[in-house]
Each structure stands twice: as C-alpha cells, then as structure tokens.
Amino acid sequence: MNLIIKQSDAQVLELKILKEHLRIEHNHEDTYLKEIISMATDILEKNIEKPILKKTYRYTFYGDDFVSTRCVPIPVNHVIKVISVQRLINDKDKEKVSYFVKNERGKTMVVTNGTKSPIEITYTAGITDKQEEIPKDLQFAVLQIAKNIYECSEEDVLESKYIKHIINSNRTLYID
C-alpha cells in the first residue's frame, strides 16, 4: 500500500491560466475548475509515472517469505529521499532497520536486512515543490488535459498528439 502523507497545496497550473485559456470570466465554476486541474495533474502523473510536485509517501511492503536480504522496489519514480525504513512488528510497534538505497534500471530500490515482517518505507518523490520550477511542457500538458476534460468526452482526453508527445518524452523508460 502506497499512501500520500504530505503534499504541497500548490497546483501545477494556476486557475487563472485555465480560465483565460477556456475564456471563462465568471467565478461560479472556480471550485470545479480547480478539481479539473487536480484530475488533469493526476492523469499526467500516472502517464509519466512520476509526481510533478513533491509528495511524501508511506509505502508498506508485505512479503510472505523470509529472505536474508530484501530488495524492495519503491512504486513511484523520481525518488528524492528515503526518510525512514521500519519493520512493522504488530499494529502498534515499529522498529527501525538498517538499509541502503540503490537504483536499478531506472527504479529506486531499498535494500534491508532479512525479515518476514512487513516493511514500511517513508520517502519523498517529485520533480519540484515550486510552481515556477515546473517544466513548461508539463504545465502545457495539464492545461490541455484540463481543457479536454472540461470540453470533451473522457475518451478524448489523452488523444491529442501534443499530449502523447509530452507524456512519452517525460515517461521513465524501463529497458530489460
């Protein structure tokens, strides 16, 4: 299970920019448009396989077998920092474990000592925590996806050749 435990209040795209792009002058849809920006950001992040704005996650890895070392792949790309690694003893108790971090074929892995107990990893991932540092192509993609959500059917949202190009150029590639 991978839960977001902390994230920025910032949005990838300012409401004002979306409203100007859609030529909306009234304010009665502002809450809805903010939700669309959030949905568009989620769609883009899923497609490029990494968060745009920094987020802190708590990932719990369950393993059934005892192994002498455990190599746990972190499920989100663009990991900035592993904050802590703990063994879950029961519902209330945790114990810090020694670990090291390695990158293998574009994926961040946490290597711990062996245990059959679940491992809880707290980490931060994302490109930036400042809106002004977000790459312009990603902001444009969020703008276009948001426009498509507002104006089109769900099937059309990712069909733009521009959006496909931005997604493909920002996606993390895995080569086996």
Q: Are 83 and 123 in contact (CB under 8 A)?
A: yes
Among 32, 38, 16, 48, which residue's Cα sits nearest to residue 165?
48
- pLDDT tens digit sequence for 11-23: 899 999 999 999 9
pLDDT digits (tens, 9 = 90+) for 83-97: 999 988 887 899 998
pLDDT, residue 38, reads: 92
Residue 73 is encoded by which pair of tokens?
């792949």
